Each structure stands twice: as structure tokens, then as C-alpha cells.
Structure 1
């Protein structure tokens, strides 16, 4: 069940898609939305070394950077509120100026069922050097337990086909479970793929996944693809014309790969399709 959705509001085209996606989900599930803007005014006021005698100009620049960010945030808030009002969706807005984006969203996620965020741009209000790195932000959100996350592209999409990458790991199984239990797009055509040799082990893996989907009333296609997931997943998503890719971590290693996994990290960096991320 989806009752409350968290929406990251930045100043780019990714946010416009996030708003449209979140509003559609809220209408589908009779959920309420919480739109969030986050800017760190301390970071905005950092402009580097100031030459002697240029203190007044430096202060003017600091104030201008903050003012521009606030203006951009107000514009996107207005767009969010208008979209919600026109759709008859219950909504609220939170504006944070002192915290880091990841930390703030992690706190808010405790009382939200789903987060919608731009895939390659988040909390970017047009001031150079102040936007959150979207890949690092996703990494920190998943590390902090924010799941599931729908990361949207910068072009509108209609979720008619969902491609699920399944490795059999506990993390991958949790993602499948999140997707089925939350059921963000009821009736979406679903296909499960695993990567490697077409042998008994992988066929059994898919058979179990298909049976689990059936227990949730979902009929799915399934296939073993003889390719690496890094290369094969995006190719298969394009070939099958998927609208959403569903995936979770399959293994752990250093830095961002510790949480996101190499495959997830590669897809986040290279996908132009919406992602449903869970773990």
C-alpha cells in the first residue's frame, strides 16, 4: 500500500517529471504527497577567497546566490502545488535551508512509503557548484534505508512495461518484494530477467520468482540472458521497450559499490529510463 509519497523538488526538467509521476501515483493510490526543497545556505555562501577591500561585493554575491536559489525553489513549489491542486491530490511542502539533502530526506522517509527523485539531477536550483550529486545522493539514501525509490528521467513516461533484473540475492529478492507489495503501477506488463548461463540453477531461480509473482496475482514473462548485467540490462530494456527498470543490489564492494552494487551504479549512471530502486 502507498499512502504517503516523498517528492524531491529541484529546479530542472527532472523535477517536472518527478511531479507528474508523483501526482499520477497519488491519484492511483489515493495517497498524499510531501514536496521537499533542500538548499544549504552555508554552502551557497561559500565563494572562495575574497580579495582585500572586496568584502562588500563578496557579501552581495553571497546574498545573491541565496536569493536566486530561494526564487528557483519558490517557482518549483508553485508548480508542485498547482499540479496537486488541479489533480485533487492532498499535499504539503517542506523547505529546508540548513541540512544536507540526504540526511533530511532520510529523516522524512520514516513516515513515507515511497520517494520520487530525479535520476540525474536533484535539488539543483541553478546556482553553480551547489547542486547535490545525484548518484551520491541515491547512494546515501539507500544506505540510510530510504526505499523504494523511483528515480525518474528528464522526459515524461507512461509505465506500461516494467523490466525486473533478478539475481537471486537477498537484496534483489527484497526489491522484487517491494515492487509487488507497493504495486505502484497496477496492471503493468512485467518481465523478469537474470543474467548468465541458461542452466538449471538460473532456470530454477526464475521459476521461483515467477511463482512468487503469481502468488501476488501477477503473471510475468521470464528469461535467462547470456550476457553481463552491466551490458545486457540496458540493451534488454531498449529491446523490450521497457518504461521502468526494477533493480536492487546484487553484491557489495568498496565505496558506492558497497551499497549500490556495480550493476546498479552502472545503470544509474547510464540509464535514460525510470528506475525502481529497492533493497
Structure 2
């Protein structure tokens, strides 16, 4: 089974950015690209059940009408999805291995991605889904559930594509982030991209040793690399560094040090996702 870059698209405004970043990643990794659209046929919670508000004689007829309406809505959603998938393929253009593939599934996004997990090399998903509020810091509940449920690298993207030139990894010396540095060093996804490493904490011998290891690992692999140890609150410190250095992508471990409540997203990661203005690559 060939692992692929999988891009989850819907009707939201961020879907074009999802297409563009997935196309970039697919070409950089020389991996097949698949666009995925999931039709969730669950009834909208905002719709009231009016079947009990009329006389008994008409109730059965109304239920039939409502059932027919649900079927028509599902057909329309599927057709809209097919149009979006076709548009995504056209936007991506031709790849070395041919035209991107498309998939349309019925169900929930999280369950679908869990079923397809073995085929995913990198999942690209938008910061806000079609049903999410449009507040800039809103993190769609789908995304949060995906991060908990899918054990593959996830690239969360905001609106607007920019080819990454400078990437920052939030480093704390943990096993997850050491793997992250090694992945950055070896992955064709980051070939030719300058790498920054930041440790948020005190200037200690251990932190300095950890930073030196990370920078050496990246430089030995041919990367331009620089780093810093900065005291302060994690989220604010990383955001400030990102702005100062004009960082194009942030790389983080999806979970903190604690293994307790391992299904919960690390609080620092969640906060960064909510406020991120650049793509965030979550490592597992």
C-alpha cells in the first residue's frame, strides 16, 4: 500500500489553501496526492422536529416528506462534493505520477480518516471547517478530534498559501521533538528550507546541550540552521519568534511531556493552533 498525501476538503474558504499546501507537499515528497471529501449525512441539529405539531392524519405524510428531503439533501451534498473534488484536481495540476486521485465517503470525517490512516503519509486539513464559526481563533471541533484520533503527521493550514522558506520547530528535548528534528533533517519536504529551533526555558547547560544537538543534526544534513533559548510563556514566546524571523511554518509535537490523558491534545499545542497565522505541522 502506497502512503500518500491526503487533503481533506469541504466548502469552506480555507479549502483552496488546503489544495495548494497538499500539492506542494506531494511534489516535495514525490508522493501520490488524494483529495478527500466526506459527506456527513447526520441531520442538522438546528432543524427542529415538527412532526408532532400537526394532526395525526397528516403526520405520516410529513414524515415521508422529511425523509424525502433528507435524501435530496444527501444527493445534493454528494454532487457538491464531486464538483469540489474536480475543482481541486484541476487546481493541483499534473503530477509526475499523474493526476491526483479523489475519494468521496459518507460518514464523519474523523471516522473516515481513522479507517484510511494506514494509507496516509501526511494529512493536510484546514484550520476551520465548513461548519465552523468564522472567528479567526476558532479551532473547528473536527480538527481537534482528528488530532486526537489520527496517528499520522497532520499539516493544519490557514487561508492563503505561501511556499515555505523558513520553518520553526518548538524543541524541548523530549523524544517526540528529537524525532521531529531528525525528521526535519532528513525529509525531502524541507529540502532547501532554513530551519529554526527554539527552546522555551532557562539558559541551562542541559538546554544548551539539547539545542547544540538539534542544530548539529540539521546542519549535518545540509540545512541552514539557527536557534535560541528564550525564557517566557511558551505560546507567546513562540509566536513572537515566528513574527521576528518571518517563519513560514511551525512544527510541534501533538502532545506534551505528560502521558496522562494521552487522548487529549497538549494545551500548548492547542493554544498555538487557535492563534496560528502560519501552517502548523503536528508530529505524532
> Do both share a fold (TM > 0.5)?
yes
Q: 2:213 aligns with which of 208, 231, 242?
A: 208
Which residue of structure 1 lines up, in the alignment, with residue 171 of structure 2? Answer: 166
Which residue of structure 2 lines up, in the alignment, with residue 238 of structure 1? Answer: 243
How far residue 207 of structure 1 moved from its aligned partner, in angstroms, is 0.8
How far residue 3 of structure 1 moved from its aligned partner, in angstroms, is 5.9
Change (3 A) 1:169 1:43: farther
Q: 1:107 aligns with which of 104, 115, 123?
A: 115
User: What does the per-residue CA deviation read over 1:116-175, in whole Å, with 9 as the maximum and x for residues that have no partner?
Assistant: 111222xx2x699xxxx9554444434445321111111122201101110111222233
Secondary structure class of the residue paired with 1:184: helix
Which residue of structure 1 lines up, in the alignment, with residue 38 of structure 2? Answer: 38
TM-score normalized with structure 1 length: 0.84
Q: Distance in 2 between matches of 1:84 and 1:239?
A: 32
Q: Distance in 2 between matches of 1:262 and 1:250?
A: 8
- Contact kept? 1:45, 1:66, Cα under 8 Å: no
Structure 2 unmatched runs, 5+: 53-58
Counting only pairs closer than 5 Å after superposition, residues 1-279 of structure 1 correspond to structure 2 as 4-43=4-43, 47-52=47-52, 53=59, 54-55=62-63, 58-59=66-67, 61-86=69-94, 89-97=98-106, 99-121=107-129, 124=130, 135-248=140-253, 249-252=255-258, 258-279=263-284
- Contact kept? 1:6, 1:34, Cα under 8 Å: yes
User: What does the per-residue CA deviation read over 1:16-40, in whole Å, with 9 as the maximum and x for residues that have no partner?
Assistant: 1111111122233332111111122
How far residue 252 of structure 1 moved from its aligned partner, in angstroms, is 3.3
Q: Distance in 1 between matches of 2:189 and 2:75?
A: 37
Secondary structure class of the residue paired with 1:167: coil
Q: Distance in 1 between matches of 2:209 and 2:132?
A: 52
**Max Rg structure:** 2
- Contact kept? 2:184, 2:218, Cα under 8 Å: no
- Contact kept? 2:181, 2:217, Cα under 8 Å: no
Q: Size of the alignment, in residue pairs?
A: 269
TM-score normalized with structure 2 length: 0.83
Secondary structure class of the residue paired with 1:93: strand
